[in-house]
Structure 1
Amino acid sequence: MPLIVEIAGWAGAGLILIAYVLLSLRRIGAESVIYQGLNVVGSAGFVVNGWAHGALPSVGLNLLWLLVGGWALSRILRARRPGQPVGPGQPPPIA
């Protein structure tokens, strides 16, 4: 395997672990750009590594993880814009 594939996998693991530790220690919240960004980039690293190793269940799980994180990240960023609807059941952003 090329070294870059292994680096992507280990970096992905590290980023997801960092996100989980920071969330568990209440240093960041689940609605933070940092938390969702770490998860999106980390899962992308797992997708690259899993694909190269032919680990399709891991690829599938991490593609879904990436999509959920990307969706959450887009909601967080849209909520920061004044006048943008946040979504059903969500309070409007406080100015």
Structure 2
Amino acid sequence: MPITLDTLFMILGWAGAIAGVVAYAMVSRGRWTPTSAHFQLTNLVGAGLMAIVAAANGVWPSVAANLVWIVIGVQAVRLVLRARRARSAEPVPTAADVELAA
């Protein structure tokens, strides 16, 4: 049985909605931090899927809101990645460094 385009968009919409709820729940329960890559990427995927579904159905206010959400998400992911690179570039203190600091 072939999947219709309407069914595909409905599945994408549910996946986007679930992603947004999961991200919110994980942060609210303290499992993820708002600055974690998991949270930001889940939000980004959810917003992207919701924007696609809204555009397919001509719900332009929702498209605009989700596009703004995507821009914020992309910037947040860039900041998370930049912070990770900066942490990995920091030298790891050795025992000698710790003794000198004491």
TM-score normalised per structure 1: 0.84
**Considering only aligned residues, what root-mean-square deviation do their CA atoms show, in Å?**
2.0
Query: Does 1:11 find its partner at 2:11?
Result: no
Identity of aligned residues (%): 35
Aligned residue type for 2:45: V
Structure 2 CA distance for aligned equivalents of residues 5 and 66 of structure 1: 19
Unpaired segments ≥5 residues, structure 2: 93-102
Structure 1 CA distance for aligned equivalents of residues 65 and 12 of structure 2: 16
TM-score normalised per structure 2: 0.78
Deviation at 1:5, TM superposition (A): 1.2
Structure 2 CA distance for aligned equivalents of residues 8 and 14 of structure 1: 10
Structure 1 CA distance for aligned equivalents of residues 91 and 29 of structure 2: 26
Structure 2 CA distance for aligned equivalents of residues 3 and 40 of structure 1: 22
When you count helix as a share of all residues, which structure comes out higher? Answer: 2
Which protein shows a greater Rg? 2
Unpaired segments ≥5 residues, structure 1: 84-92
Equivalent residues, number: 87
Structure 1 residue runs of 4 or more that deviate by more than 3 Å after TM superposition: none
Aligned residue type for 2:49: G
Structure 1 CA distance for aligned equivalents of residues 72 and 17 of structure 2: 17
